[in-house]
Each structure stands twice: as C-alpha cells, then as structure tokens.
Amino acid sequence: MDKNKPDLAARAESFLFSEGGSLTRKKLCRLLNVKDEELRHALAALTKHIDGRGVSLIETDTEVSLVVSPETSEEIKTAYELEFGREIGDAGLEVLAILLYRGASTRSQIDYIRGVNTSSTMRTLLSRGLIERTGNPEDGREFLYRPTVELLAHLGVRTPAELPDYAKISNELAVFEQKSGPFQEHASTTNSMLDGEGG
C-alpha cells in the first residue's frame, strides 16, 4: 500500500469538491475504484471528519454532494427560500414539502394529497433541478419523484429528517394516506398513464 496515497475518505472529498455539485454513488465508486460498501464507510468517515466545518456531506439513495453546512448557512437558506417562492409559487412549494416530508412519491400520490393535477408543477421542479424522476420498481407504468441533493443543500440540511417538525408532519401525511385507500389506487392507474406521456 502506498503510504503517500491519501486515504479513501480524503480522495472521496477531493472528487466531490472538484465536481462542484453532486455525484452519483455509482460514479463515485467507479472514480475511486471501490465497491459500494467501501464507499459507505469512507463517506461515514468523511462526515465525521468535516463535522463542525463550513461544509457538510449530503447523501441520498443515489447521489452524494459536498454543500454549505447548516451551521453556516442561515442567511443563504433564507435567501434561497425567498427565491424558490418567487420562482415556483405556492404549488411548487407544496409539492416540495410533500416530497421532503413523505419521501419518494408517484405523481398520483402527490396529486391526491394536494387534490389537484400537478403535471405542470412537476415539470417546473424537474427543470429547476429541485426534484428528480426515476423508475418505480413496484410499477413500471409510473415514476417516482424525490428531492435532489441540490434542494437539500439550498435548504441547509443534510437529510430531510433535519427539517422542522419532520416526525410530526411525516406522521400526519401517513395518517392521511391510510384513509385514501381505493381512491389512491384508482388515481395511480389513471395518472400513471399520464406519466408515461411525459407528465
């Protein structure tokens, strides 16, 4: 082993810094020539190493990014929240809140919670890089939407669980959904076809 070679956590930090944005976990594994389990341990070490500094590590199921730390980002957070409000409106903020507090969701689930069709709002959020769309492993006819690393960075949190009243609001959404049952299934079938058309 080359003693002059930086450890894996340091190398991961360098790649993330040089990227200037998020990297997929798959790509970072490839750049570092490691398996996912090794990357997980390296990122845990990196998180511990940079704790209390001006940057934080944010991880989602698919991406990793270095961002401004919550402790140093209050002014940035406030400015971005105001900017989001101007750019995407109340509908966009409502959709983001659902995805942040509920987690990955289909468009039909979002539509049902809001009570209106959200196709145009979803397109706006996707184009702004605030949410991402992936295939739904449980139903190939529809997509799952989730917050991006960039959104979490703008909000000054490392995970959605750090958002205000996360446990309370998440629980309230879960209780609301338990009452939706048959309607949600019907909405899922209808809106999945619309999703397939690019909505």
What top-level class would CATH report for the domain 8-69?
A: mainly alpha
pLDDT digits (tens, 9 = 90+) for 154-165: 888 888 898 989
Quick one: pLDDT band at residue 197, thresholds 50, 70, 90? very low
- 66: tokens are 């270095």
CB neighbours of residue 92 within 10 Å: 21
Least confident of 37-41, 52-56, 63-67, 82-86: 82-86
* Residue limits of CATH 1.10.10.10 in the chain: 8-69, 73-196
Q: Where are the beta strands (DSSP E) in 32-185?
A: 55-59, 63-68, 131-135, 143-147
CATH number, domain 73-196: 1.10.10.10
pLDDT of residue 198: 38
Average pLDDT of the residues in 11-37: 88
- What letter represents residue 78's amino acid? T
Phi, psi of 21 (to 5 degrees): -165, -150
Phi, psi of 129 (to 5 degrees): 75, 20
